[in-house]
Amino acid sequence: MDTTTTTGKGLILFLTCLAQFIVVLDVAIVNVALPSIQEDLGLSQSTLQWVVIAYGLFLGGFLLLGGRLGDLLGRRRIFLAGLAFFTGASLVAGVAQSAEVLIGARALQGFGAALLAPSALSILAVTFAEGKERNGAIGLFGAVAGTSASVGVIASGLLTDGPGWRWVFFINVPIGLLLAALAARFLPADRHEVQRRQYDAAGATTVTGGLLLLVYGLNRAVDDGWGAATTLVLFAASAVLLAAFVWIESRAASPLVPFAALRNRTMVAADLAAFLVFGALFSFIFLGSLLMQQQLGYSPTRTGVAWLAITVSSFLAAAVTGARLSSAVGVKPLLIAGFVLVTLGVAWLTRVPVGADYAPDLLPAFLLFGIGGGLSIPNIQIGALSGVKGEAAGLASGLVETMREIGGAVAIAAVSTVLVSRTDEARGIADPAARQAAAVDAFQDAFVVIAVLAALGVLVALVAFPRSGRAVPEPSGEAADLVPVTVGAVNS
């Protein structure tokens, strides 16, 4: 198929957006189903969060390798391999009868998604020319990324109340098979010469292990305490592995993350912003779903429908900013506005009352968050790919996707830490009314954590993103694929 035609590019855009849809969908689709999963499989609260974290952690941990493999071995090949892992693991998760099998399948899903997601974004990046054409495509791609999580919550509610929670995993199987058939037919073939190149398995292993131990340490700190020996050992081991990753990258012949990439200020700022905005988004949906079901008595279906406000507002804001405003005014102003709105939306829920009503107490927060996320997400992806040449598109895609998923995993762990510790305190209160008020206070405190993340995003947008047209030295060799001559490309 000729990918230079409008029809060819349209098909590629559809396939990459569908891949992004299922990857982000599965970050959130389990949220509403969590109470049903917990009851059916007999999971503790601390074990339950690993149904969410395992997927995000393995996705985030292997995204860098997945993106680099796409550059070195072929984007179409890695796209299809990731889809096979993802679809097969979804089937295993659906039939799981124990926590171990379910969490293991979720981890394997995350690994498959780590191959699929950066391949999809890099295919899009090399198909559309940088500037207005790519900004429009990434606007739609970002709209899908921003709304997939909230669509996942809606689908989770409908499926959990309908055929049951296992269908939040089974639904991926027909979608995955259809996507595989279409991708094999319509995605452009890989070039043969990429097959002989090398990749950095040691770097991928150390960074994944380090991040896994970090999040596990956050989880264990809830039960053992932040100063406990177990917690400190886990954090120390994480630091050692992450330091080893830096050492390996400085000496590897084909590093997972060449240090030259850090000279691209726009890309680095976009990656940091992705960590913060997606950390806020995923933890917001995680916490909000528990609030509505555990404290407000919402059914899974009602909880899912409640997220429509974020879904619609985020999609509309993302589609407009990606296609029109990004090329006109640039990334930085839209990111500042987006993070401000996200912060205001989360701050609204730090005062959520006992017995809150949807329209006055939840809806304004959802709309503010949705519009803010829609302004932020496409522009983060545009900035992450600014000035990056085709041969490094997978690496740049892997970096921003990694920060997205690790941000979500770390934020959910942090929010869960606050929520569980404060909820345990509330259980010791004898008076029912006071106990319920204390339980709601626990949610308020957890929302404060998310508000801090979003406020940090405002600071990053203000300080870290360069102004239009700021020149940087023109590099040579491999660095030339990663560093734009001018960061003003984000406003092209």
Q: Provide the CATH number for the domain around residue 401.
A: 1.20.1250.20
How does residue 480 score in pLDDT terms, banded at 50, 70 and 90?
very low
Q: Are residues 207 and 302 in the same domain?
A: no
Angle at 102 between CA 214 and CA 83, to 5 degrees: 85
* Position 192 in a domain: no
CA separation for the pair 98, 41 (Å, rounded): 6
Mean pLDDT of 121-131: 83
Q: Are residues 349 and 426 in the same domain?
A: yes
Complete DSSP assignment for 309-325: HHHHHHHHHHHHIIIII
Angle at 248 between CA 246 and CA 249, to 5 degrees: 65
DSSP 8-state code for residue 294: I
Q: pLDDT averaged over the chain?
A: 83
Angle at 129 between CA 62 and CA 377, to 5 degrees: 50
Domain boundary among 209, 229, 255: 255
How does residue 54 score in pLDDT terms, banded at 50, 70 and 90?
confident
Neighbouring residues of 477: CB distance < 8 A, sequence distance ≥ 6? none
Mean pLDDT of 90-95: 96
In the chain, the percentage of residues whose pLDDT exceeds 90 is 37
Mean pLDDT of 1-24: 82
For 180-230, what is each residue's pLDDT tens digit? 999 998 888 876 544 455 667 788 788 878 877 887 787 677 667 778 899
pLDDT at 192: 52
* Position 358 in a domain: yes
Question: For residue 73, is pLDDT > 80?
Answer: yes
Residues 172/23, Cβ–Cβ less than 8 Å: no
For 275-296, what is each residue's pLDDT tens digit? 999 999 989 988 998 899 889 9
Question: For residue 122, is pLDDT > 80?
Answer: yes
Complete DSSP assignment for 399-416: HHHHHHHHHHHHHHHHHH
pLDDT at 485: 33
Q: Are residues 307 and 394 in the same domain?
A: yes
Out of 56-70, 158-172, 306-320, 406-420, pick the least confident: 56-70
Q: Are residues 205 and 172 in the same domain?
A: no
* Position 64 in a domain: yes
Q: Are residues 314 and 330 in the same domain?
A: yes
* Position 239 in a domain: yes
For 267-277, what is each residue's pLDDT tens digit? 889 999 999 99
Q: Are residues 112 and 177 in the same domain?
A: yes
Question: For residue 261, is pLDDT > 60?
Answer: yes
Q: Are residues 319 and 458 in the same domain?
A: yes
CA separation for the pair 123, 144 (Å, rounded): 16
Q: Are residues 204 and 64 in the same domain?
A: no
* Position 195 in a domain: no
CA separation for the pair 55, 149 (Å, rounded): 14
Burial 427-460 (b: 16+ CB within 10 A, else e): eeeeeeeeeeebbbbbbbebbebbbebbbbbbeb
DSSP 8-state code for residue 480: G
Mean pLDDT of 260-267: 76
Question: For residue 427, is pLDDT > 90?
Answer: no
Residues 318/374, Cβ–Cβ less than 8 Å: yes
**Mean pLDDT highest for which of 31-45, 93-107, 259-273, 458-472?**
93-107
Range of the domain at 338: 6-185+256-491
CA separation for the pair 137, 76 (Å, rounded): 19
Question: For residue 138, is pLDDT > 90?
Answer: no
Q: Are residues 170 and 112 in the same domain?
A: yes
* Position 26 in a domain: yes
Task: Name the more confident of 210 and 490.
Answer: 210
Domain boundary among 237, 255, 273: 255
**Mean pLDDT highest for which of 16-30, 103-117, 462-476?**
103-117
Mean pLDDT of 304-314: 88
User: Of 144, 145, 141, 89, which is closest to residue 112 (Cα–Cα)?
Assistant: 89
Q: Are residues 308 and 367 in the same domain?
A: yes
- Total domains in the fold of the chain: 2
Domain boundary among 236, 255, 274: 255
pTM of the model: 0.80
Mean pLDDT of 31-59: 82
CA separation for the pair 342, 412 (Å, rounded): 17
For 389-412, what is each residue's pLDDT tens digit? 656 677 777 888 878 877 887 888
CA separation for the pair 386, 108 (Å, rounded): 31
Distances (CA, A) of 349 to 295, 370, 444, 472: 13, 14, 7, 42
User: Of 193, 78, 67, 162, which is closest to residue 118 (Cα–Cα)?
Assistant: 67
* Position 190 in a domain: no
Q: Are residues 207 and 348 in the same domain?
A: no
* Position 88 in a domain: yes
Q: Are residues 242 and 372 in the same domain?
A: no
Question: For residue 88, is pLDDT > 50?
Answer: yes
